[in-house]
Chain A
Amino acid sequence: MLFTEVFNRYQWDKEHASIYAKTAEEVIRALSRHSRTWEDFKALISPAAFPFLEQMAQLSQRETQKRFGKTIQLYAPLYLSNECQNICTYCGFSLDNKIPRKTLTALEILQEIAVLKEMGYEHVLLVTGEAQQLVGMDYFKQMLPLIKKHFAHIALEVQPLDEEDYVTLHRLGVNTVLVYQETYHQEDYKLHHPKGKKSNFNYRLETPDRLGRAGIHKIGLGALLGLDDWRTDSAFTALHLQYLEKQYWQSRFSISFPRLRPHAGGLEPKTVINDAELVQLICAWRLFNGEVELSMSTRESETFRDHIIKLGITSISAGSKTNPGGYAVAPQSLEQFEIDDSRSPAEIATVIQKAGYEPVWKDWDPSLQTI
């Protein structure tokens, strides 16, 4: 059984309509339950739930503290390459963007690592574009042993791979893999990914299945909010999570909330998710699933991030650079997306402490992952 089989039983338009038809009564019912269904999640992200935002926030805070205590985990992205064979209408690294391309050498990676270690990082997220020849399995096999020595926890956000590759990556020390579906709207997915391996919707949709089968400890999901209707995309992400949790019961899961925002020259979002709606979405996730990790990047503003750490988020990045070499090697090169909160990790740690939470730098150990 693969998620595509479940997914094909649902229709985008029908789910979209049902979310927008949710009533206040259904929201109240969802709020009153002690464990919540997928339909409850749909109610909680619907426009009908918006007046209940404060109550959702209170409940979300309580649920999050129950499972995670008053802690926030810190991680940093490390971009290894901006080479990419895909055309993605929303991405700075898209093949059709004429930008200088760079893939870090072993020496350059070590220079970048030195900066991250100086900042205090133990959890690193390795990011690349999709360019099989330049940054495929050979590159990972060569670089991972080098990187592994310096970090307690390695996450990967790279092109979808085959199951056997994930088994290999796990052996090489990768604990977590993030693969965002971008959108669950099959037709629009094709419009936004016209060229490259990424244009294969089903291969991407089944990637978390391959990760689960390969025994990857943690699997990250998400939709690029705004690419299509963010509510419907989030509902499908929740459906995906619900399926994966049952199917791969030994894996952990995390959700991210990248949002597409209007900016000059960039792709116009189909629907805009504003700050309050993003709070609503994060709280709805927490009320739907008490155990899932919720992650927040530096795309968001300082004020937003300062407050959101109390509302359901469990991990946060800080001081991020989204260009290969951004920390030390080539700080001026083009970023994948614009950073809004540019405060240092130390500053963010202080913000977390002031909120009454403990910043957690290390929450894994490679010795726990020897086979």
Chain B
Amino acid sequence: MNQSLKIADKIFSSRLFTGTGKFSSTKVMEETILASGSELVTVALKRVAHQHIENDQLLAHLNHAHIHLLPNTSGVRTAKEAIYAAELAREALETNWLKLEIHPDPKYLMPDPIETLAAAAALVKLGFTVLPYCHADPVLCKRLEEAGVAAVMPLGAPIGSNQGLTTLTMLEIIIQQSTIPVIIDAGIGKPSQAAQAMEMGADAVLINTALATAHDPKAMAIAFKQAVEAGRLAYELGGLAPVNNHHAVASSPLTSFLNTI
């Protein structure tokens, strides 16, 4: 059993966060999310019929006591648009939680660091619990932390690319420096990559494409669940077996002078 994870005022026993896009049906989506054990699920405001929330099919399939919704601002291109979308999401989904996503570029969906930082600072002041999607940029993550966000969500690789932790070196620095939870978002394509992220100390991972587009999303959700748990366990135990380093010992030892003092 892994240690629980606290983000802002909520406690999660699962460190696998999921999304709702790209599934073949809302039914498959629901089964997959339930199989994953995920307790935090991100929903794009653009997908929700926020004016008639009671009739929304997507939300109907997410109506489980253990599942918290994390509305996201996917589609906005500026801080101003993000703040407006956040207000709408807060009203429609009755949660202060927000995954802040600002990607003005429609091809790679790269997050805009400048707009994201500005929006994060403003949204924190407006009382939101902000989880920004951002580049694996250690300084940006510290600046977001100073702006008061509840966690950072640096990318492992371009979103939807399933390439794994191509930003590994930067993620390690981010994890090492952060005083708030670090959730690796975007790019994780395989359970082994999720395990790798957890082994190195990530607090959680967010997986969507790798589940939604798997041959059997429900089975893949179980595989990811186990991978996340295994990776976390290895991290918590902190006792990976030693890697066999063959350090050559110099012919003139550095400490022999101690015999002469």
Tell me which residues across on chain B come within 8 A of A247, comparing CB atoms: 179
Cβ–Cβ contact A58 & B249, under 8 A = yes
Cβ–Cβ contact B249 & A55, under 8 A = yes
Tell me which residues across on chain B come within 8 A of A1, comparing CB atoms: 179
Would you call the interface of chain B mostly helix, strand, loop, or mixed?
Answer: loop
Check A32 for interface membership: any CB of B closer than 8 A. yes
Cβ–Cβ contact A35 & B176, under 8 A = yes
Check B247 for interface membership: any CB of A closer than 8 A. yes
Check B11 for interface membership: any CB of A closer than 8 A. no
Chain B nearest CB: distance from A312 CB in Å? 10
Which single member of B172, B178, B255 contacts A54 (CB below 8 Å)?
Answer: B255
A29 to B245, CA, bound (A): 11
Chain B nearest CB: distance from A341 CB in Å? 13
**A-B interface pairs (CB < 8 A), number:** 59
Interface residues of A in 225-254 (CB under 8 A from B): 245-247, 249
Tell me which residues across on chain A come within 8 A of B244, comparing CB atoms: 32
Q: Which of B30-38, B44-52, B235-243 contacts A (4 or more CB under 8 A)?
A: B235-243
Check B65 for interface membership: any CB of A closer than 8 A. no
Cβ–Cβ contact B257 & A303, under 8 A = yes
Tell me which residues across on chain A come within 8 A of B248, comparing CB atoms: 58
Check A68 for interface membership: any CB of B closer than 8 A. no
Cβ–Cβ contact A301 & B242, under 8 A = no
Cβ–Cβ contact A32 & B249, under 8 A = no
A57 to B248, CA, bound (A): 12
Tell me which residues across on chain A come within 8 A of B258, comparing CB atoms: 275-276, 279
A1 to B178, CA, bound (A): 14
Tell me which residues across on chain B come within 8 A of A53, comparing CB atoms: 255
Tell me which residues across on chain B come within 8 A of A32, comparing CB atoms: 242-245
Check A157 for interface membership: any CB of B closer than 8 A. no
Cβ–Cβ contact A57 & B178, under 8 A = no
Chain B nearest CB: distance from A232 CB in Å? 21
A61 to B248, CA, bound (A): 13
Contact A249/B176 with A275-B261, A276-B255 known, Cβ cut-off 8 Å = no
Which single member of B176, B177, B242, B255 contacts A29 (CB below 8 Å)?
Answer: B242
Which single member of B179, B241, B254 contacts A310 (CB below 8 Å)?
Answer: B254
Interface bits B158-192 vs A (CB < 8 Å: 1, else 0): 00000000000000100011110000000000000
Tell me which residues across on chain B come within 8 A of A221, comparing CB atoms: none
Chain A nearest CB: distance from B3 CB in Å? 15
Interface bits A272-293 vs B (CB < 8 Å: 1, else 0): 0001100100000000000000
Chain B nearest CB: distance from A215 CB in Å? 13
CB-nearest residue of chain A to B141: A249
Cβ–Cβ contact A58 & B250, under 8 A = yes
A61 to B255, CA, bound (A): 11
Tell me which residues across on chain A come within 8 A of B177, comparing CB atoms: 245-246, 249
Interface residues of B in 215-261 (CB under 8 A from A): 238-239, 241-245, 247-250, 253-255, 257-258, 260-261
Chain A nearest CB: distance from B177 CB in Å? 6
Tell me which residues across on chain A come within 8 A of B239, comparing CB atoms: 29
Chain A nearest CB: distance from B101 CB in Å? 25
A33 to B245, CA, bound (A): 9
Cβ–Cβ contact A307 & B254, under 8 A = yes
Tell me which residues across on chain A come within 8 A of B238, comparing CB atoms: 37, 39
The interface centre, meaning the residue of B243, B253, B261 with most chain A CB atoms within 10 A of its CB, is B261
A32 to B242, CA, bound (A): 6
Chain A nearest CB: distance from B258 CB in Å? 5
A301 to B258, CA, bound (A): 12
- Counting from the closest, the 10 A-B pairs by CB-CB distance are A32-B242, A57-B254, A307-B257, A276-B258, A57-B255, A249-B142, A29-B242, A54-B255, A246-B179, A54-B253
Starting from the known contacts A57-B254, A275-B258, A306-B257, 7 additional A-B residue pairs (CB-CB under 8 Å) come to A1-B179, A29-B241, A55-B247, A61-B254, A246-B179, A249-B142, A275-B261
12 A–B contacts from the bound complex (CB under 8 Å): A29-B239, A39-B238, A53-B255, A58-B249, A246-B178, A249-B177, A275-B258, A276-B258, A279-B258, A301-B261, A303-B257, A310-B254
Q: Which B positions have Cβ atoms within 8 angstroms of A?
A: 142, 172, 176-179, 238-239, 241-245, 247-250, 253-255, 257-258, 260-261
Q: Which A positions have Cβ atoms within 8 angstroms of B?
A: 1, 28-29, 31-33, 35, 37, 39, 53-55, 57-59, 61, 245-247, 249, 275-276, 279, 301, 303-304, 306-307, 310-311
